[in-house]
């Protein structure tokens, strides 16, 4: 597909999305109430992760201030991963609607959690980017949900959003795979733009961190392009054992 065709498709999709927004105003993805994409009542039920977590990968821990078993067994490349909420009930439905039901209006609601986390963290970030999708998948979906979250977060925090990575081959949806298969699935499938990331601290945004394999693969690509630090930040993470 030529870049022009790609662009035209994108523009017509944008228009049809806007028309649909006018005809059918937003409803809460959880309770269906008209108004916001996530109403205040449903938003308030989303559970933040408040237990101690691994300072490296964000896994829940029984004792604070030590890296988790997984980080000791498989040392990670990524500087740090943090997630804000548990991936259950309302949060899970909201992420699902954003990813699979074309509810891009959920992105600003979920980005609030990332913005709040950044407001209390002491990360020194030069740019924000989203975990990339393979271009064909992004075209099918009409957007990359991770980029939408990254853009809303960057705007709210007055930080620079940039697209600095691309997928160089199609990968299967991580949700279908176990941990080892996930690591293989994304290995060497990503490429980062050295001109944009060399010497920079990059905040890498995604909707959910399951094993962290995708964030880790992105971090490898970013470090190959000489990024200084790579900080993963996701809205949700499944509870241990889920």
Sign of dihedral through CA atoms 157, 163, 164, 169? positive
Nearer to Zn ion, 38 or 164 (CB): 38
**Nearest distance from residue 21's CB to Zn ion, in Å?**
18
CB of 45 to Zn ion, least distance (A): 9
Contacting residues toward Zn ion, per CB under 5 A? 28, 30-31, 33, 39, 42, 54, 56-57, 59, 68, 71
Q: Judged by CB, which is closer to Zn ion: 109, or 207?
A: 109
Q: Are strands 190-192 and 165-167 parallel, antiparallel or unpaired?
A: antiparallel
Q: Which residues contact 230 (CB under 8 A, 6 or more apart)?
A: 77, 78, 79, 201, 202, 204, 218, 219, 222, 223
Minimum CB distance to Zn ion smaller for 6 or for 41? 41
Integer Cα distance of 135 and 218 in angstroms: 16
Whole-number CA gyration radius for the chain = 18
What's the min distance (Å) between Cβ of 123 and Zn ion? 17
Q: How far is the CB of 218 from Zn ion (least distance, A)?
A: 17
Q: Are 201 and 231 in contact (CB under 8 A)?
A: yes
Closest CB to Zn ion among 93 and 167? 93
């Amino acid at each position: 597909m030529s870049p022009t065709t790609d662009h035209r498709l994108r523009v017509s999709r944008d228009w049809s999305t806007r028309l649909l927004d006018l005809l059918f105003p937003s409803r809460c993805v959880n309770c269906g109430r008209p108004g916001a994409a996530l109403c205040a009542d449903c938003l308030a039920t989303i559970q933040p992760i408040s237990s101690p977590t691994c300072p490296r990968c964000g896994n829940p821990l029984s004792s604070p201030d030590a890296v988790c078993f997984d980080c000791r067994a498989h040392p990670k490349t990524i500087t740090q991963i943090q997630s804000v909420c548990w991936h259950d009930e309302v949060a899970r439905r909201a992420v699902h609607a954003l990813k699979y039901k074309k509810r891009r209006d959920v992105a600003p609601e979920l980005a609030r959690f990332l913005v709040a986390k950044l407001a209390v963290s002491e990360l020194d970030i030069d740019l924000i980017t989203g975990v990339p999708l393979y271009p064909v998948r992004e075209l099918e979906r009409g957007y990359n949900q991770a980029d939408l979250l990254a853009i809303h977060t960057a705007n709210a925090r007055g930080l620079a959003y940039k697209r600095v990575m691309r997928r160089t081959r199609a990968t299967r949806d991580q949700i279908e795979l176990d941990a080892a298969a996930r690591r293989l699935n994304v290995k060497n499938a990503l490429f980062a733009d050295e001109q944009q990331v060399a010497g920079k601290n990059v905040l890498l945004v995604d909707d959910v961190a399951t094993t962290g394999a995708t964030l880790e693969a992105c971090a490898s690509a970013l470090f190959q392009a000489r990024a200084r630090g790579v900080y993963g930040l996701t809205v949700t993470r499944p509870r241990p054992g889920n």
